[in-house]
């Protein structure tokens, strides 16, 4: 299979002999040995293969660091939630009940109380917080865990994008003494996710989800969306202000500064392996993965090239370079396979997305140099051995920056404002973008626009620093009332 992928006139184009993005994605997960999907005999559940698992680990390391640095504490809650606890917050259970897997038996015995495989942990954690948290002096409290969650998806499942076991669910849960502090926490969470996606070079928009699409049980939901090369928006992170919805039903009461007693306030926010799916989709090309230096399982792969009589000195040279780079903390692999020609090795490591390949042959040994090939741009440079480590670090940063810039450039060219629904529809369908349309603020108007566009409403912008500028003439295309903001529309996963 040959896939060609490129940014053509600002548009993502797969000139792929009739193959779609989704076929490319399936191919790259399998060929690059990231994730085995579709063969395990439970629908919607995939297997992280060793190479994919390493990538996942380095991605998780970043979010763990960002959370730890900002005072979040990692915990681990049970996977089973008793039915009465999951059902206690009525909005919440209405949002989830069609998607819950239930454990009904222990061995041969039917259970008195059904147990849910957690779809998320607001309920079980708030239940426990009613025992733990009594005073404003303990607050704010910031917990997180990185676990599997289960959702019986009724839509067609897709590897990593829509699964029934979400294996990399990072859920954070916080408790606060008042609404203002919960609001401050929402901003902190947004900032953490911004930095996380920036480190991975994943572009995003941040929107306040419309009322009908917020998290079940939240006052409101802020969402990060990116755009995959097929033109569909993918939700990659959400932040919820939960208000006192859960603390009221679970009786989490705290003593306040003024000695009165009140229910605590909460937020929660989550990300999943969709982050890794977007990392793969957005940076990849026809040859396979292109991984950022920061999270690549191997940051550098060394390929020795020699004739039989040069074998010993070239391999010795390659191994000594590897030792030096490893000793300085880099993830390095030397490809010593004897039965594979160098050309095939190049192809293989390109497919695996290794950011920096180092080729060494007799000439390099003699000159005390190496030849460095960059995966992102496909260019080669010669470097003196004494400058190698510094050069690799510099290139690593440059590669990550280049990937981030390219991804943002393509992404921003896909977001446009429209007053005409016809033009917006054409943009969404043909240019595969996100359209922003003036909105009066009424749900029925946005739902109507979404229907006419054959798209979904993502929400209103909250990421634009400059105030959303609306002229007096900007009117809601449905009711004609003066618009108060924009609503974003796109096809959506």
Q: 211 vs 199, 219, 221, 490, CA distance in Å?
A: 31, 9, 8, 17
From 143-151, 154-162, 438-446, 464-472, give the range in contact with Zn ion by CB under 5 A: 438-446
Task: Give the distance from CA 379 to its chain's centroid.
Answer: 29
DSSP string, 30-75: HHTTSEE-S-SSSTT--EE-HHHHHHHHHHHHHHHHHHHHTT-EE-
Q: Considering beta carbons, is residue 370 or 476 the nearer one to Zn ion?
A: 476
- Walk across the sheet containing 80-82 and list its strands: 80-82, 109-117, 102-106
Which of the 8 DSSP states describes residue 431? I
Q: Considering beta carbons, is residue 256 or 482 the nearer one to Zn ion?
A: 482
DSSP string, 301-351: EEEE---GGGHHHHHHHHHHHHHHHHHTT--EEE---SSS-HHHHHHHHHH
From 25-33, 369-377, 405-413, 443-451, give the range in contact with Zn ion by CB under 5 A: 443-451
Give the C-alpha separation, 350 to 84, whole Å.
Answer: 52
Q: Considering beta carbons, is residue 32 or 474 the nearer one to Zn ion?
A: 474
Q: Does 239 bind Zn ion (CB under 5 A)?
A: no
Give the C-alpha separation, 437 to 409, whole Å.
Answer: 21
Q: Considering beta carbons, is residue 45 or 476 the nearer one to Zn ion?
A: 476
Q: Considering the complex, what minimum distance in angstroms separates the CB of residue 420 from Zn ion?
A: 16
Q: Considering beta carbons, is residue 93 or 437 the nearer one to Zn ion?
A: 437
From 7-15, 116-124, 308-316, 435-443, give the range in contact with Zn ion by CB under 5 A: 435-443
Residue 297 backbone phi and psi in degrees, to 5: -55, -45
Q: Considering the complex, what minimum distance in angstroms separates the CB of residue 418 from Zn ion?
A: 15
Give the C-alpha separation, 350 to 303, whole Å.
Answer: 12
Tell which one of 242, 440, 453, 474 touches Zn ion (CB under 5 A): 440
In contact, 81 and 115? CB cutoff 8 Å: yes
Q: Considering the complex, what minimum distance in angstroms separates the CB of residue 462 from Zn ion?
A: 20
From 97-105, 383-391, 398-406, 437-445, give the range in contact with Zn ion by CB under 5 A: 437-445
Q: Does 478 bind Zn ion (CB under 5 A)?
A: yes
Q: Considering beta carbons, is residue 364 or 436 the nearer one to Zn ion?
A: 436
Q: Considering beta carbons, is residue 277 or 474 the nearer one to Zn ion?
A: 474
Tell which one of 392, 445, 457, 490 touches Zn ion (CB under 5 A): 445
User: Which of positions 448-477 make contact with Zn ion (CB under 5 A)?
Assistant: 476
Q: Considering the complex, what minimum distance in angstroms separates the CB of residue 426 from Zn ion?
A: 22
- In 73-108, DSSP assigns E strands to 73-74, 80-82, 102-106
CB-count burial class (<10 Å; 0-12, 13-18, 19+) for 129: buried
Give the C-alpha separation, 127 to 144, whole Å.
Answer: 16
- Give the number of residues in contact with Zn ion, rule: CB under 5 A: 6
Q: Considering the complex, what minimum distance in angstroms separates the CB of residue 478 from Zn ion?
A: 5
Q: Does 85 bind Zn ion (CB under 5 A)?
A: no
Q: Considering beta carbons, is residue 381 or 479 the nearer one to Zn ion?
A: 479
In contact, 270 and 278? CB cutoff 8 Å: no
Q: Considering the complex, what minimum distance in angstroms separates the CB of residue 206 from Zn ion?
A: 23
Q: Does 236 bind Zn ion (CB under 5 A)?
A: no
Residues that bind Zn ion (CB under 5 A): 440, 442, 445, 476, 478-479
């Amino acid at each position: 299979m040959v896939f060609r992928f490129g940014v053509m006139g600002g548009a993502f184009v797969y000139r792929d002999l009739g193959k779609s993005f989704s076929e490319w994605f399936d191919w790259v997960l399998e060929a690059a040995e990231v994730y085995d999907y579709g063969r395990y005999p439970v629908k919607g559940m995939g297997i992280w293969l060793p190479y994919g698992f390493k990538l996942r680990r380095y991605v998780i390391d970043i979010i763990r660091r960002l959370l730890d640095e900002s005072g979040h504490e990692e915990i681990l809650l049970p996977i089973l939630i008793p039915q009465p606890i999951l059902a206690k917050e009525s909005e919440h259970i209405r949002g989830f009940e069609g998607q819950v897997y239930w454990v009904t038996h222990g061995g041969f015995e039917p259970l008195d109380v059904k147990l849910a495989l957690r779809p998320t942990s607001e309920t079980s954690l708030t239940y426990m917080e009613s025992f733990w948290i009594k005073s404003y002096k303990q607050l704010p409290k910031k917990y997180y865990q990185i676990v599997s969650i289960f959702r019986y998806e009724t839509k067609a499942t897709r590897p990593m994008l829509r699964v029934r076991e979400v294996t990399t669910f990072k859920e954070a849960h916080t408790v606060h003494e008042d609404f203002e502090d919960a609001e401050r926490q929402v901003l902190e969470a947004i900032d953490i996710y911004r930095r996380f996606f920036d480190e991975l070079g994943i572009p995003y928009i941040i929107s306040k989800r419309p009322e009908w699409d917020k998290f079940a049980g939240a006052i409101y939901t802020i969402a990060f969306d990116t755009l995959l090369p097929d033109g569909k928006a993918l939700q990659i992170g959400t932040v919820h202000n939960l208000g006192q919805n859960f603390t009221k039903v679970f009786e989490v009461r705290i003593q306040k500064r003024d000695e009165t007693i009140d229910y605590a306030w909460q937020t929660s926010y989550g990300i999943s392996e969709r982050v890794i799916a977007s990392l793969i989709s957005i940076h990849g090309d026809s040859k396979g993965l292109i991984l950022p230096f920061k999270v690549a399982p191997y940051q550098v792969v060394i390929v020795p090239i020699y004739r039989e009589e040069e074998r010993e000195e070239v391999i010795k040279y390659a191994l000594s370079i590897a030792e030096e780079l490893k000793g300085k903390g880099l993830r390095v692999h030397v490809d010593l396979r004897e039965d594979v020609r160098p050309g095939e090795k190049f192809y293989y490591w390109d497919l695996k997305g290794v950011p920096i390949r180092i080729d060494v042959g007799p000439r390099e040994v003699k000159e005390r140099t190496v030849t460095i090939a960059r995966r992102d741009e496909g260019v080669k440079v010669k470097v003196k051995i004494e400058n190698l480590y510094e050069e690799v670090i510099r290139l690593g940063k440059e590669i990550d920056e280049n990937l981030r810039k390219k991804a943002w450039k393509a992404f921003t060219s896909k977001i446009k404002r429209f007053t005409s629904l016809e033009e917006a529809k054409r943009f969404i369908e043909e240019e595969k973008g996100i359209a922003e349309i003036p909105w009066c603020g009424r749900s029925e108007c946005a739902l109507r626009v979404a229907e006419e566009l054959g798209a979904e409403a993502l929400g209103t912008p909250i990421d634009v620093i400059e105030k959303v500028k609306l002229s007096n003439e900007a009117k809601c295309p449905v009711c004609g009332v003066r618009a108060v903001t924009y609503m974003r529309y796109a096809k959506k996963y």
